[in-house]
Amino acid sequence: MKKFGIVLMALAVLAMSACGPKAPTTVKFGVFEPMTGANAGGGALEVEGIKLANELYPTVTVGGKEYKIELVIADNKSDKVEAANAAQRLVDKDKVQVVLGSWGSSLSMAAGPIVEKAKIPAVGLSCTNPLVTKGNPYYFRVCFIDPFQGTVMANYAFKELKAKKAVIIREVSNDYSVGLAKFFADSFKQLTGDPNAILAELNYNTGDQDFSAQLTEVKKYKPDVIFAPGNFTESALVIKQAKELGIQTPFLGGDTWETPEFIDVGKKSVEGAVFSTFFATEVPITETSKVFLDAYRKKYNKEPAAVTALGFDGYLVAREAIIKANSLDTVKIRDAIAATKDYPGAAGMITLDAEGDATKSAVIKVVQDGKFAYKATVQP
């Protein structure tokens, strides 16, 4: 009887071996975001959108088989070196099919060579610096880029504020801030017809707390407007300290300002601050916008940030590409993402150009009564 049991066990092992390794039942989306560090507030907002999309659309069908989409979250710690390490782990250890993120163009750029070498498609959500996708066939994005954003804010300064002279305060250690400042400056000079329209470009570093030296310079120049694109915390401190010094000049910024921390830090000082962003809850654009807004409000009982809508869209674009490719092969998924045209996302229709960038409208918002309020939509 004992020998008979051993024989049965041996036959069972052979049968299992004959079946081979178990086929995968999941598709892995690497979520590449700053969950800690200076950019953590922005990363958390994008992750909210990705997770919400995953709750609403948790599976994808390939070759007649249904796969669960698993989110693998990697903290890039708001640091370029850590960002490269996090991207490498997603590729080598976690074996993801797609990467989503990151908040912060510098962090996305750090991952660029890694995803390209591994032939893993990445979908940027709010990383607006042109260099994120330039020359990299594996990096895409669902947001507009800084040349457009800079032009939008230069036009606002010139046409709405009637500004003729500006000072720029930029976060010199941040590729996003430096790039956006340049595009604003180029456009503002062209609009005014004055090569000296930018009175000064004043610099600070990520993490700085005291901006008295830069603001003393601002008082000396007496500009009509101050353009200060940068991280939400430092930007709020710049504006707060400017008001404390009696500077009443209007402040303009970019999409990074749309986080709760900007208002929490700046408080009443940031009232009236105007910035460009990607999406306004007041003007839903597509049917997907309504689905997103209803689901978000029900889950969080508040209004979503624009980058949360972009997180939602990045997930949907990647999922749709897998459906169209009908494959889990990452090169085929990349090709399907590249072919994205007129896809109805929460933050608007998405068509990717030859560089992998989305052509999108911009939204202008203002801080009003302690909240972000819609002002206008600007078409490309």
Locate 301 and state its tokens.
Answer: 């009982």
C-beta of residue 103 within 8 angstroms of C-beta of residue 47: no
| Residue pLDDT, tens place only, 277-321 | 999 998 888 999 999 999 999 999 999 999 999 999 999 999 999
Locate 359 and state its tokens.
Answer: 């052509």
Q: Reply yes or no on whether the pLDDT at 144 is more than 70.
A: yes
367: which strand partners? 372
Specify the 3-state DSSP secondary structure of 16: helix
CA distance 227 to 219: 14
Mean residue pLDDT of the chain comes to 93
4: confidence class by pLDDT, cuts 50, 70, 90: very low
379: confidence class by pLDDT, cuts 50, 70, 90: confident
How many other CB atoms are there within 10 angstroms of residue 80's CB atom?
A: 17
CA distance 315 to 31: 10
Cα 142 to the center of its chain, rounded Å: 8
Give the residue-averaged pLDDT of 143-159.
96
CA distance 54 to 239: 37
E strand segments, 166-325: 166-171, 198-204, 225-227, 251-253, 274-277
CA distance 272 to 27: 45
Question: What integer pLDDT is reported at residue 1 of this predicted model?
Answer: 46
Question: What integer pLDDT is reported at residue 243 of this predicted model?
Answer: 97
| Residue pLDDT, tens place only, 311-364 | 999 999 999 999 999 999 999 999 999 999 999 999 999 999 999 999 888 999
Question: What integer pLDDT is reported at residue 15 of this predicted model?
Answer: 46
- Output the CA angle 272-276-278, nearest 5 degrees: 130
CA distance 367 to 268: 9
> Which DSSP category does 165 fall into?
-
Q: Reply yes or no on whether the pLDDT at 3 is more than 90.
A: no
Comparing 13-27, 204-218, 235-249, 281-295, which segment has the lowest mean pLDDT? Answer: 13-27
Cα 229 to the center of its chain, rounded Å: 15
| Residue pLDDT, tens place only, 47-93 | 999 999 999 999 999 999 999 999 999 999 999 999 999 999 999 99
Question: What b/e sequence results for 141-163 when a residue is b if at least 16 CB atoms lie within 10 Å of its CB, and e otherwise?
Answer: bbbbbbbbbbbbbbbbbbeeeeb
Locate 287 and state its tokens.
Answer: 């049917």
Question: What integer pLDDT is reported at residue 285 of this predicted model?
Answer: 86
Give the residue-averaged pLDDT of 181-188.
98
CA distance 173 to 178: 8
C-beta of residue 299 within 8 angstroms of C-beta of residue 306: no
123: which strand partners? 100, 140
97: confidence class by pLDDT, cuts 50, 70, 90: very high
CA 346, 351, 356, 360 torsion-angle sign: negative
- At 226, give phi and psi (nearest 5°): -120, 125
Share of the chain above pLDDT 90, in %: 91
C-alpha to C-alpha distances, 69 to 56, 89, 146, 319, 368, nearest whole angstrom: 11, 18, 32, 9, 39
Give the residue-averaged pLDDT of 121-144.
97
Give the residue-averaged pLDDT of 127-145.
96
Question: What integer pLDDT is reported at residue 380 of this predicted model?
Answer: 79
| Residue pLDDT, tens place only, 5-64 | 444 454 454 444 445 455 679 999 999 999 999 999 999 999 999 999 999 999 999 999
CA distance 26 to 316: 16
Question: What integer pLDDT is reported at residue 343 of this predicted model?
Answer: 96
Which residue blocks in the chain are alpha helix, DSSP H?
A: 2-19, 40-56, 80-92, 105-118, 146-155, 175-192, 212-221, 232-244, 260-266, 287-300, 306-325, 330-338
Give the residue-averaged pLDDT of 221-241.
97
C-beta of residue 252 within 8 angstroms of C-beta of residue 154: no
